[in-house]
Amino acid sequence: MMDTDKIYCLDCLEGLKQLPDKSIDLIMTDPPYLIKSTRAGGHNRLARTIQPVNNLLEENGLVSGMNPDILPELIRVMKKINCYVWCNKAQIPEYLDFFVRELGCSFDILIWWKTNPPPTFHNKYLSDKEYCLYFRKGAYCQPASYETAKTVFHQPINVLDKQTYPHPTIKPLNIIKMLIENSTRPGDIVLDPFIGSGTTAVACIELGRQYIGYEINEGYFEVAQKRIQDTIERLEV
């Protein structure tokens, strides 16, 4: 078993293979989305502003989707299927097919409805929603209140977090904390195979859960390490 309360700079498939069967209470993860085109389109000032962000996503492997070989490993390491997977709309059928049709999981579709989405050029509608699919089979899930049982979260993109801990797809900490608290008990082990900027680790530290995280990108790994250390120091004050 790998040490908990630690993140590792390595490919998640390699890391998963080092975990024993049925050792993880919850998986919370934000793997690469499947994005067919990263061209902003046009030559105006707005397009020139957005294109560098899209280039960053592509250069760091954040547009190619999740390697399907990872899915069986996720199932193997969970005590019971208890898994939140962030995705875009293009990936929903693939995940439903695997978790629901093949494995018989129950599921919920949670939505982060961004109140300040960036403009879009290729689609008729704004990309103002991101999806988090929750799959479970015999696992613990008990929201503590009416508010924490809601499935749509109206919230802006946190520009300050993106500036402080640079990562193009950072998720709101309060949403991640709520989902983890709904589906784990204190002391449980939460795995994030795509730890990114470290949001899952920070949420676990604040909630009293153990965590393990993997991040293959050295730059983002360093960002996550700094964010974790900042959190520990803040809570010690």
Q: Could you state, in order of their start, the residue ranges of all structural domains in the chain?
A: 6-236
Region 95-103 average pLDDT: 95
Q: What is the mean pLDDT of the chain?
A: 86
Confidence of residue 116 (pLDDT cuts 50, 70, 90): confident
- Cα gap 94→100, rounded to integer Å: 10
Using CB atoms within 10 Å of the CB of residue 175, give its burial: 0 to 12 exposed, 13 to 18 middle, 19+ buried.
middle
β partners of residue 153:
112
**Mean pLDDT of the 216-222 span:** 93
Neighbours of 113 (CB within 10 A): 12
Q: What is the CA radius of gyration of the chain?
A: 17
Distance CA 69, CA 191 (A): 17
Instruction: Return the pLDDT at 36.
Output: 57
Amino acid at 235: L
Tokens matching residue 78: 């969970």
Q: How far apart are CA 74 and CA 22, in angstroms?
A: 10
Confidence of residue 51 (pLDDT cuts 50, 70, 90): very low
Whether 222 shows a pLDDT value over 90: the answer reads: yes
| Cβ neighbours for 62, distance < 8 A, ≥ 6 positions apart | 32, 33, 168, 169
Kindly compute the dihedral angle of the four CA atoms of residues 199, 200, 201, 204, in this order, to the nearest 10 degrees.
120
pTM above 0.75, yes or no: yes
- 37 vs 122: which has the higher pLDDT: 122
Name the pLDDT band for 53 (thresholds 50, 70, 90).
very low
Three-state secondary-structure class, residue 56: helix
Q: Which CATH number fits domain 6-236: 3.20.20.105, 1.10.1200.10, 3.40.50.150, 3.40.190.10?
A: 3.40.50.150
What is the structure's pLDDT at 166? 66
Q: What are the tens digits of pLDDT across the range 130-186?
A: 999 999 999 989 999 999 999 999 999 877 776 677 667 789 999 999 999 999 999
Residue 5 region, left (φ>0) first, then alpha (ψ -120 to 50), else beta?
A: left
pLDDT at residue number 157: 83
83-95 residue pLDDT tens: 999 998 989 999 9
- Residue pair 192/210 in contact (Cβ under 8 Å)? The answer is no
Task: Inform me whether the pLDDT recorded for 42 exceeds 80.
Answer: no
Residue identified by tokens 């989707």 is 65
Cα 212 from Cα 128, distance rounded (Å) = 30
